[in-house]
Structure 1
Amino acid sequence: MAIIFLAPPTKFTCPANETCCNDPIFDRSLFPRTIVMEWNLICENSWLKDLTQMLFQFGVLSGSLIFGIMSDKYGRRPTLVFSVVLEVFTGVISSFLPTYWSFTIVRMVLGMSVGGIMVVGFVLVMEYVGGVYRDIISVLFHVPFTLGHILLALFGYLIRDYVHFQLGISLANMVLLFYICILPESPRWLLAANKTTKAVKLMERVAKTYCFYGVVHYISHLTGNVYINVVAGGSVCLCACLIAIPLVKVMKRKTLVIVPNILSSLCFLFISLIPEGTGSVVMGCMGILCSFLVFVVLYLYCSEMFPTVVRNAAIGIASMMARLGAMIAPFVAALRPHGKWCAPVAFGILPLIAALLCLLLPETKDCELMMTIEEGESLGNQARRNTGITTEVT
């Protein structure tokens, strides 16, 4: 979400009232320096700011897959620690890069580290938590994300220069370097990797100490104060987490994916029918709430649907597919000049498709986390029987 303050909407004027020029005069009253001002990303070059975010999300996509596979092969702990170190390093370095392309490429690598942290971190938590608390903890896992989303507005308000802003949000992540000292390995991965002795020793020690990328970008461009829009978007995501806690206890996983997808679709489609203003922001926030609710539940759903030996790779692939949407989202949000209905309609159609596809998936509520491929195949075969789909094995 940092792109909201790295490349906010920027007003400029040209000599002789020209529409475009090579030496524009930017309005620096709100933001003294952005990547748009730094590298003249206006007129025929305006698409480059969206390309920056697209490549960042491509990095998240790639990192989700690459680090997911690495985690299944080499372990959760070393992969997560490497991702954290890479995130801090590339985040700080990107603050000082002098050219658009160097900034964009390094941010793509930064995105890879983010993808690794998100996927590996979630799987590690899920493999530590018992079945009784797994659904609640899977929701609470996303609360720091929403708090960071809200705090982003504070960073953006206090730090208006994009270089200092990027540096500030990168240095804040240095707290994660404590993982190097305190982060344990997943005992489930140790067992799956036939490292039983290490798993037993770890659990003995633990027994003594143990106890969602396009609509938000669109909302930030709606009428009103950008800081209020960002805080509103982050706040409804936090509300979605709190709402999800009781819902995951009493409702089935498929229901919690299908119904919010349909509701978010209706909210976005309704935005295309009403005037821009407070009403559209409210409907947009309601759409974000439903979308983030799906985002939260899907992490839990995917973790329960795949066995331990491929869980990180599988969630990495699932997260990778989500990043395809995040890569396209800035360009979809940029359709507003072609018609205020274009972006909301585009954002509203895909959740309906997702809801229909979810009907083919198995239900995993109250199921123990699977360990082997055979257990996963059994769950898949049961889902096919329930939906009337049959396959021949040769």
Structure 2
Amino acid sequence: MMPFGIAWAFLYFCQMFVTATPDVHWCRVPELDSLSMEMRRSLVTPTTGNYDFDKCNTFDTNWTQVLESLRAPEAGTPTIPCPNGWEFQFEDIPYSTVVSERGWVCDRAYLVPWSQSISFVGSVIGGIVCGMLADKYGRLPALVLANVFGIIGNVGTIFTTGFWDFSICRFIAGMSVDSCFLLIYILVLEYVGTRYRTWVSNLSIALFFGGGCVLLPWVALWISDWKWIMFATAVPSVLVFLTPFLVPESARWLISKGRVDKAVTVLKRFEKMNGNKIPDNVMEKFVTIAKTRIEKEEGISLIFKTPSLRIMVVFLIIAFMAVAVMFDGIIRMSENLGMDFFVTFAVTSATEIPSIIVLLFLLDRLGRRWLVFAPMMAAGILCLVTAFVPRGIISVSLAVTARFFNNMSYVSIIQWTPELMPTAVRASGASFVHITAFAAVIVSPFIVYSDNLWEGLSLIIVGVVGLAGASLALFLPETKGQRMPQTLDDWKELAKKKFYVRNTS
């Protein structure tokens, strides 16, 4: 699971580091290129009413005369939008990015959130495709395909020159997220018993996804070239080509397809590796029962044909949307919280590990339902408070704490989602829930962009969304201590434990 957890983190967030916008930029005036950077900036940049430099306009004047006198145009000189592009001071972002190379600032700054949203549209399409293929053809082929999308998208981005070719490549890379990890996650959970399921699922996210998030800003700083960052963040996905030779297909999936003999072959491989033989009478009983429990219906249509499953999925989708929008929003606000972008990103990402360690000791005690609801309520309140405090160490501290609680909810609902699904629709159903979350996250870059209208507006939006959506988690069946449903009948038994589906299952 390690390379795919890291690939998930890299593919999800790498676009932030190649489209980061240096805070200090001003209009380029070719006539002044021979002067020092500070002199050029002081001569060409008007000041605004609060004595800040105007990043998007310059004086409409004779620059040859300005060069001769080395004096800025007089106050009241008309200004015009930058006619020759921009210059950037590479201090907060110490390398050239897509934004600085292509001038995606000022009246073109909207291209950054649009390109990110197009990437999320790719995640929606990729989730549908990979989820359906995983339930029809197996977890491993779909896992390979998902990671191939990431490799093609990232490497292709290197050769783009404009907005649309860049966005198409980000769309392809987006098709990898988060199927590049979700499918191996589901496969592993389908082998792990109830006793260890929480530890295996959560440690994999804490160590590999969380570790990848912490590592990413330092990889970007070390490379300091957006094209090579794109290449480097595709490398973990390459290991997917070894997976079919090392990882067995899910025995649960094989059984759901009637391929019981193949499932037995896989289990015998486990016997050999573990040095622990399954008793013959147990194996015979397993084969007999497995051959009678083949689902005749498959794919996502099963969800919509089953009332209790359909209602559960709707509630789960809304809760997941709220958790995902807050998760993505907080991390994308790293540029807007008043401290170093790379440090802020790393620190907020580092909360992944301790928050999940805490979760490990609580999830099988308190259950999934409360550990989605309660931390999200705390995170939502913290976001609302952060919106009204000064930018700097206080806002960063509050945002880090909010991310800590949000991580707990995010990881809980990731584990909860496949636990609620019957095997026949586990991959497509979980992917469907995840892609609806990505559909909501499409607006996340624009939520962050709303800070241009009023500082703190993005935090208010994220906080309200979190508070409103997470409460629906209270209406979902608890899976603590329960085996994952293999068949639709197993799901109906689980659903009866929650009041709202008792009469509709």
Q: Verify same fold: TM over 0.5.
A: yes
Aligned to 1:305: 420
Report SS of the residue matched to 1:368: coil
Q: CA separation in 2, counterparts of 1:150 and 1:210?
A: 34
Are 2:184 and 1:69 aligned? no
Q: Is the 8 A contact 1:223 1:277 kept in 2?
A: yes
Comparing 166-175 with 190-199, greater Cα deviation is found at: 166-175
Comparing 255-264 with 113-122, greater Cα deviation is found at: 113-122
Cα gap change, 1:210 to 1:120, in 2 (>3 Å) = farther
Q: Deviations over 1:314-353 (max 9, x none)?
A: 1111111221232211111111122222111101011112
Map 1:124-273 to 2 at 5 A. 124-142=187-205, 143-210=207-274, 213-273=328-388
2:273 corresponds to which letter in structure 1?
T
Quote how far apart the aligned CAs of 1:193 are. 0.7
Q: CA separation in 1, counterparts of 2:253 and 2:236?
A: 30
Q: CA separation in 2, counterparts of 1:38 and 1:150?
A: 26
Aligned to 2:82: 21
Q: Give TM-score scaled by structure 1 length.
A: 0.94
Q: CA separation in 2, counterparts of 1:318 and 1:200?
A: 31
Q: CA separation in 2, counterparts of 1:267 and 1:46?
A: 29
Report SS of the residue matched to 2:168: helix
Aligned to 1:12: 25
| Unaligned segments of structure 2, at least 5 residues | 1-12, 30-43, 46-56, 59-80, 276-326
Q: Is the 8 A contact 2:25 2:89 kept in 1?
A: no
Cα gap change, 1:344 to 1:192, in 2 (>3 Å) = same
Report SS of the residue matched to 1:138: helix
Q: CA separation in 2, counterparts of 1:333 and 1:392?
A: 41
Q: CA separation in 2, counterparts of 1:70 and 1:172?
A: 22
Q: CA separation in 2, counterparts of 1:171 and 1:365?
A: 36
Q: Deviations over 1:131-172 (max 9, x none)?
A: 110111110121211111011111121122211211121234
Report SS of the residue matched to 2:415: helix
Q: CA separation in 2, counterparts of 1:225 and 1:64?
A: 34
Report SS of the residue matched to 1:335: helix
Q: Is the 8 A contact 2:19 2:97 kept in 1?
A: yes
1:8 corresponds to which letter in structure 2?
A
Q: CA separation in 1, counterparts of 2:430 and 2:461?
A: 26
Comparing 210-219 with 182-191, greater Cα deviation is found at: 210-219
Q: CA separation in 2, counterparts of 1:21 and 1:125?
A: 55
Report SS of the residue matched to 1:220: helix
Aligned to 2:151: 88
Q: Is the 8 A contact 1:214 1:325 kept in 2?
A: no
Are 2:114 and 1:51 aligned? yes
Q: CA separation in 2, counterparts of 1:7 and 1:117?
A: 22
Comparing 193-202 with 104-113, greater Cα deviation is found at: 104-113
Are 2:131 and 1:119 aligned? no
Q: CA separation in 2, counterparts of 1:227 and 1:381?
A: 48
Quote how far apart the aligned CAs of 1:93 are. 2.0
Cα gap change, 1:22 to 1:202, in 2 (>3 Å) = farther
Aligned to 2:167: 104
Aligned to 2:464: 349
Q: CA separation in 2, counterparts of 1:56 and 1:243?
A: 32
Task: Decide which of 339, 357, 361 is 2:476's aligned counterpart.
Answer: 361
CA RMSD of aligned residues (A): 1.9
Q: CA separation in 1, counterparts of 2:112 and 2:273?
A: 47
Quote how far apart the aligned CAs of 1:173 are. 3.2
Comparing 26-35 with 142-151, greater Cα deviation is found at: 26-35
| Unaligned segments of structure 1, at least 5 residues | none
Quote how far apart the aligned CAs of 1:390 are. 6.5
Cα gap change, 1:24 to 1:179, in 2 (>3 Å) = same
Q: Which protein is bigger by CA-based radius of gyration?
A: 2
State how many pairs are aligned: 390
Comparing 260-269 with 331-340, greater Cα deviation is found at: 331-340
Quote how far apart the aligned CAs of 1:376 are. 1.6
Quote how far apart the aligned CAs of 1:240 are. 1.8
Cα gap change, 1:174 to 1:48, in 2 (>3 Å) = same
Q: Is the 8 A contact 1:61 1:115 kept in 2?
A: no
Comparing 263-272 with 113-122, greater Cα deviation is found at: 113-122
Aligned to 2:308: none
Comparing 33-42 with 255-264, greater Cα deviation is found at: 33-42
Q: Is the 8 A contact 2:495 2:502 kept in 1?
A: no
Aligned to 1:377: 492
1:46 corresponds to which letter in structure 2?
A
Q: Is the 8 A contact 2:370 2:474 kept in 1?
A: no
Comparing 23-32 with 70-79, greater Cα deviation is found at: 23-32
Q: Is the 8 A contact 1:79 1:120 kept in 2?
A: yes
Quote how far apart the aligned CAs of 1:28 are. 4.4
Aligned to 2:305: none
Q: CA separation in 2, counterparts of 1:48 and 1:222?
A: 21
Comparing 122-131 with 334-343, greater Cα deviation is found at: 334-343
Identity of aligned residues (%): 24
Q: CA separation in 2, counterparts of 1:320 and 1:375?
A: 25
Comparing 230-239 with 28-37, greater Cα deviation is found at: 28-37
